[in-house]
């Protein structure tokens, strides 16, 4: 799921790679557990374990003094919903609509960030972009475009998941709920790595020398 890998690869210093790997793994740990457990139809373990790992990750993030990112909140909301449905209510409906729920959580957050005028990708971009660039019209426009792309991607994935529910069968769910959404995620990450630099180049923007990383 979409999460800590939405940074804009601008022409600035990279954080410590080992630290980024550890943070990335911690952010995806709830989804890894959820995927394995739900794959073996252990939905309570998937929901409850995912919620615990999510809370641990968010607590560690806050303790480290880092800002909890926009896409961390829909992850928490999803695992709360999953736990209430699977453990609290013991509902079998969640197993059917889980993919629709997860993509809805992320899509609502993404579209909401656009509606309130704070595209969520800008938060990730600020981790690497110099502060004097944050209010620049090019930075604002770039992140609006990137957020809209992710909004579209997540909305399409809701559609895939909904079609899987309607069609049913042993092929539709893995194809429409997992394979195609994952393919779109990969395409989204590839878009993240290429589009910002190309957009900046087309806009004729160059990072100020004073903001460039030290050798």
Ordered by start, the domain boundaries in the chain are: 17-206
- Per-residue pLDDT, 174: 86
- Per-residue pLDDT, 194: 93
- Per-residue pLDDT, 206: 67
| 72-83 and 93-115 helices, crossing angle to 10° | 150
- Per-residue pLDDT, 2: 52
**CA-only gyration radius of the chain, Å:** 18
Structure tokens at 2: 């979409």
C-beta pairs of 34-37 under 8 Å, 24+ apart in sequence: 34/79, 34/82
- Per-residue pLDDT, 184: 95
Positions in the chain short of pLDDT 70? 1-24, 206-215
Of residues 54, 95, 57, the one with CA closest to residue 75: 54
DSSP state of 131: G
- Per-residue pLDDT, 27: 84
C-beta pairs of 61-69 under 8 Å, 24+ apart in sequence: 67/123, 69/3, 69/4, 69/6, 69/120, 69/123, 69/124
Q: What is the pTM of this model?
A: 0.83
């Amino acid at each position: 799921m979409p999460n800590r890998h939405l940074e804009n690869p601008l022409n600035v210093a990279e954080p410590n790679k080992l630290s980024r790997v550890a943070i990335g793994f911690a952010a995806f740990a709830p989804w890894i557990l959820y995927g394995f457990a739900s794959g073996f139809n252990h939905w309570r373990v998937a929901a409850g374990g995912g919620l615990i790992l999510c809370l641990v990750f968010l607590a560690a993030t806050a303790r480290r003094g880092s800002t909890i990112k926009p896409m961390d909140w829909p992850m928490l909301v999803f695992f709360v919903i999953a736990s209430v449905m699977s453990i609290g209510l013991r509902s079998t409906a969640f197993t059917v609509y889980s993919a629709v729920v997860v993509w809805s959580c992320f899509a609502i957050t993404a579209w909401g960030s656009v509606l309130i005028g704070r595209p969520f990708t800008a938060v990730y971009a600020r981790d690497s972009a110099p502060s004097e660039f944050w209010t620049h019209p090019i930075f604002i426009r770039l992140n609006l475009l990137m957020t809209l792309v992710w909004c579209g991607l997540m909305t399409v994935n809701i559609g895939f998941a909904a079609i899987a529910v309607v069609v049913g069968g042993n092929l539709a769910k893995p194809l429409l709920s997992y394979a195609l959404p994952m393919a779109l995620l990969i395409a989204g990450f590839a878009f993240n790595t290429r589009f910002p630099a190309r957009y900046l180049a087309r806009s004729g923007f160059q990072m100020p020398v004073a903001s460039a990383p030290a050798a």
